[in-house]
């Protein structure tokens, strides 16, 4: 079986050593494709100055995410669970080996719609429950990521049997695009980079134009610098 990782944020571009090592060891980044997935900025992150990070939402509008194939071909449920554990360690390096969840998030799987994969899906559900993993929406209690099978954008094709992804807890009330923008404007520790890195790497939400408009209206000091020039050029080239 061929599998991939659905990436909706900093796992793609964060240059911390543990994440760079994970990408190099586990993913075929050069074969990654852009795909339509329901995502938005919906979780306040304490480690990012209470600014917002991306969440997957089964009932949301479609944005652009990245799906990168795994280097490992999966022979059985053991190899799938091992890959899930590696993904979780990339998210939470302090986690115990084999863990795939915490109160704030968990790894879920979406199998391709194929009856031949039904037995593997059942085995995943059994292992997920054996681990007493905490499911986080839109991951169900059986560990399945409850979203439609992603559709590749452009000329890409998703030749995979399963996709692993990290689901993180949403805010109780979905933030407005203006709230998301204001959280970045009102901090001074550089956490606005999360938005601009996502834009530069093609991870986009339907709210991006409204977020960008609010940032422009607020005119933060860092907007005039060169750090985000590539992402800003992309945003300025898009229709208002």
Look at residue 60 in the predicted model and tell me its pLDDT.
80
Do 22 and 90 form a contact (C-beta atoms < 8 A)?
A: yes
Where does the pLDDT of residue 80 fall: very low under 50, low under 70, confident under 90, or very high at 90 and above?
very high
What are the C-alpha distances in Å from 181 to residues 18, 33, 111?
29, 27, 35
If you compute the radius of gyration of the chain from its CA atoms, what whole number of angstroms results?
18
Q: Which percentage of the chain shows pLDDT scores above 70?
A: 100
Please say if the pLDDT value at position 240 is more than 80: no
Do 47 and 231 form a contact (C-beta atoms < 8 A)?
A: no
Look at residue 45 in the predicted model and tell me its pLDDT.
95
- Please compute, for residue 95, the number of CA atoms within 13 A of its CA located in the half-sphere on the CB side: 23
Look at residue 155 in the predicted model and tell me its pLDDT.
78
Where does the pLDDT of residue 58 fall: very low under 50, low under 70, confident under 90, or very high at 90 and above?
confident
Look at residue 157 in the predicted model and tell me its pLDDT.
83
What predicted TM-score, i.e. pTM, was given to this entire model?
0.96
Q: Which percentage of the chain shows pLDDT scores above 90?
A: 95
């Amino acid at each position: 079986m061929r599998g991939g990782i659905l990436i909706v944020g900093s796992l793609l571009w964060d240059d911390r050593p543990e994440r760079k090592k994970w990408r190099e060891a586990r993913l075929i980044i050069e074969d990654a494709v852009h795909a339509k997935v329901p995502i938005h900025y919906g979780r306040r992150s304490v480690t990012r100055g209470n600014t917002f990070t991306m969440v997957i939402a089964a009932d949301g509008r479609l944005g652009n995410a990245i799906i990168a194939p795994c280097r490992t071909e999966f022979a059985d449920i053991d190899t799938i669970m091992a890959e899930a554990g590696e993904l979780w360690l990339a998210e939470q390096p302090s986690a115990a080996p084999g863990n795939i969840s915490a109160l704030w998030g968990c790894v879920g799987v979406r199998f391709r719609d194929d009856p031949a994969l039904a037995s593997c899906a059942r085995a995943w559900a059994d292992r997920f429950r054996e681990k007493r993993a905490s499911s986080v929406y839109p991951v169900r209690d059986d560990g399945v990521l409850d979203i439609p099978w992603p559709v590749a954008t452009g000329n890409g094709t998703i030749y995979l049997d399963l996709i692993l992804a990290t689901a993180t807890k949403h805010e109780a009330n979905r933030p407005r695009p203006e709230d998301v923008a204001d959280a970045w404007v009102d901090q001074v520790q550089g956490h606005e980079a999360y938005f601009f890195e996502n834009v530069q790497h093609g991870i986009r939400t339907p709210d991006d134009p409204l977020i960008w408009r609010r940032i422009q209206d607020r005119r933060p000091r860092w907007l005039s610098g060169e750090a985000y020039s590539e992402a800003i050029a992309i945003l300025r080239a898009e229709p208002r």
